[in-house]
Structure 1
């Protein structure tokens, strides 16, 4: 009897779906304790053990969270770009940020987001952002001068870069009111950030209206920031209104060319303008996202260069060759390629947004697995940036990875510290400009020697250093003067 291929049975249905692998965790709590203890290492271990699509379970039955992590760049591209409409910002973390800081560009969706983006985009053109270069170098120069009196010539880069980035953001956003805004945000933001992260990941949330100590502290901090922003916005609009009535355009410009004034004046025939609450929400999101992410990139770039003196020397030689004794300008961004490569490599190893969350609204196949509708999904630059399939010796600091020819060989989503797709960070050029110019000022003025070789980190709203990143400062001869 001849052998033939067996015929499918009439009862045979479609092939069963592949079960998404993942860590078993503890019998009752799953991976909850691992995620709370060190979520970044938990994700790295999950990819190593189970591949590029992983299912994680956290919490006891009845209060259990189930989410899917996607690590391969092809899957990241689907979630952030090609299928972005199927993955929304409905994750609990975004909801908590929305409740705390308002419905700005980071958290808004659908028609609200598109309208805000159209109104705000003209304020982030390359020409407009480049006009802030003098403010960036002036703040970096002020810090460099203050470091001359540092006790023992040792500084901790984490608070120092946080202060620099906050001062710069406040100056560009608030102009003459920068000092008051900086002080309030420095005091209130850590309270709100900790509150947001804690609420986002607890299985049962106490209503915000209840007068618990945590709720009262967060409400007081939020009220203070809101009141400050509302007062400054009202002052700006009053000044512009008075200038318009008087017909004095010069006074109108003097009333505020800072970003807050431009936001208050933004408008078009299709979208109207932002009301006072919307302006405040955009400002608070810019302060949160803008200063914390840039501070992280600055601190870790300086620390990595301090622990790799040969790379620091190569960067400094480029800075000296390009700048001589002058202050850097926006035009120097393209003239400092190796410094930019060092910054990008730092952002690979220490991405300021280490984990990005979404919620699937439609079933999607990713990497051969079906992600169900309603599933919480994360992509993790922290993990993808460390994949040995994408990066040779991934834990090694090597700025040469970002030479143009090597960048061109990689998948677009092998490196995505600014996200991607239609929700990519609107402030990407601003962050790169601020970081490169500030680094040029500081590295031209000082040689850095690492005191702490390793800096522990944890994932919050942004990447958080949980230990010091101290360096010794050695002033360089003939470093020049910076400022306005």
Structure 2
């Protein structure tokens, strides 16, 4: 019989675990698993505004929430609602028939063959970046900041094609404002309406308007010029998608997809790339092995999509970086009906989270879990672990549609960087926090030594 009394930290009498979650949510979840097990109940907030969070940390529990019983776990919580209002009703945030229709229309744009065609945009932007590093002050760069710039320019080039310059400046300026605003509202126990003319609301509205305007102008320009069917960038392809069952996407729907692709397509990959570089800089023996593989496979040439399978060690490095630093460290859902998970009964309407940050460190699946070891991802080792012991791209029917693109972009960029430079870590410990995605809250500087 399922247990209804779910263990968890007592917290403070009036605020529960609110201060712990605000100060260090990832550490709080990690401690909760160590002290209370794989299903934990946390309370946060003052009486009358108190939230209950049911955290599920086992691989089997994550698989149940994201895959086996996914229909019972919806994106109905306050956080997703704020993301939806800020960035539109795209694939990340849509639900039910809206989501199914969008997925059917957009899926053909993310086949492996189609995604492999984006490799040239990635390598061109990476070449520009590594050339610019030659003039870096003190031969030092912050790899997190650099990877954020690289992935933004790469995804913007893939989305907007020749209009990339018109979009990048606006995205760089407006995304942080909207992201911080969305995050603050998403985790607040109470919010004033967005229409109220508070300073925060006005700043966010201005940034949102500017971001929407640049997307709408580019979409309108394509349609007015009649070149929507001529380009091979993602925006042109979105304008072309159509089926007898699902019709096509109107201008507002295209903009929503573009905004979600910008959000999910550059911050997440930047996190994976930045931490992979920093981990290699801290582990010279792994960096040497990765560089030797790159040299043997590429012999100095620019990599392409066809090289991805020939760089298995570099792929293992990325997978291990995503284990330690998953870009989506916590994934939230809301239970429609009561459900049993790992022997505990989760009530209907409960806010439920699964946490790659914790499951990726679970001692049942990972020995010495804080140690960086790419050899955890040999084919043999992967077969021995449960499927959801590692799930940086989520899972189930709502798994990230862009996961092949993320791996392609990351492997190609890492290969080109290792061709040009050796890296030594200047900052050894990088503090992190969870926003819409995982983010470094301090510098991640590396010193460069040119190999030319």
TM-score scaled by structure 1?
0.92
User: What are the Cα deviations for residues 212-232 of structure 1, in whole angstroms up to 9, with x where unaligned?
Assistant: 000000000000010100010
Q: Distance in 2 between matches of 1:259 and 1:407?
A: 33
Q: How do 1:220-299 and structure 2 match up within 5 A?
A: 220-240=206-226, 252-253=229-230, 256-299=231-274
Correspondence for 1:160: 146
Correspondence for 2:31: 45
The runs of at least 4 aligned residues of structure 1 exceeding 2 Å deviation read 15-18, 238-241
State the Cα distance separating 1:179 from its structure 2 match.
Answer: 1.2
Task: Indicate whether 1:99 and 2:99 are aligned.
Answer: no
Correspondence for 2:165: 179
State the Cα distance separating 1:18 from its structure 2 match.
Answer: 3.7
Task: Indicate whether 1:476 and 2:451 are aligned.
Answer: yes
Gaps of at least 5 residues in structure 1 are 1-14, 244-251, 478-484
SS of residue matched to 1:188: helix
Q: Distance in 1 between matches of 2:35 and 2:23?
A: 19
Is the 2:300–2:419 Cα contact (8 Å) retained in structure 1?
no
Task: Indicate whether 1:422 and 2:427 are aligned.
Answer: no
SS of residue matched to 1:357: strand
Q: How do 1:23-422 and structure 2 match up within 5 A?
A: 23-240=9-226, 252-253=229-230, 256-422=231-397
State the Cα distance separating 1:46 from its structure 2 match.
Answer: 0.3
State the Cα distance separating 1:388 from its structure 2 match.
Answer: 1.1
Correspondence for 1:449: 424
State the Cα distance separating 1:202 from its structure 2 match.
Answer: 1.1
Is the 2:294–2:415 Cα contact (8 Å) retained in structure 1?
yes
Q: Distance in 1 between matches of 2:226 and 2:436?
A: 35
Count of residue correspondences:
452
Q: Distance in 1 between matches of 2:190 and 2:93?
A: 22
Higher Rg of the two aligned structures = 1
SS of residue matched to 1:473: strand
TM-score scaled by structure 2?
0.99
User: What are the Cα deviations for residues 133-187 of structure 1, in whole angstroms up to 9, with x where unaligned?
Assistant: 1111111011000000001100011111100000001100001111121110100
Q: Distance in 1 between matches of 2:198 and 2:45?
A: 24
RMSD: 0.9
Q: Distance in 1 between matches of 2:115 and 2:223?
A: 22
State the Cα distance separating 1:31 from its structure 2 match.
Answer: 0.1
Is the 2:2–2:344 Cα contact (8 Å) retained in structure 1?
no
Correspondence for 1:12: none
Q: Distance in 2 between matches of 1:358 and 1:225?
A: 28
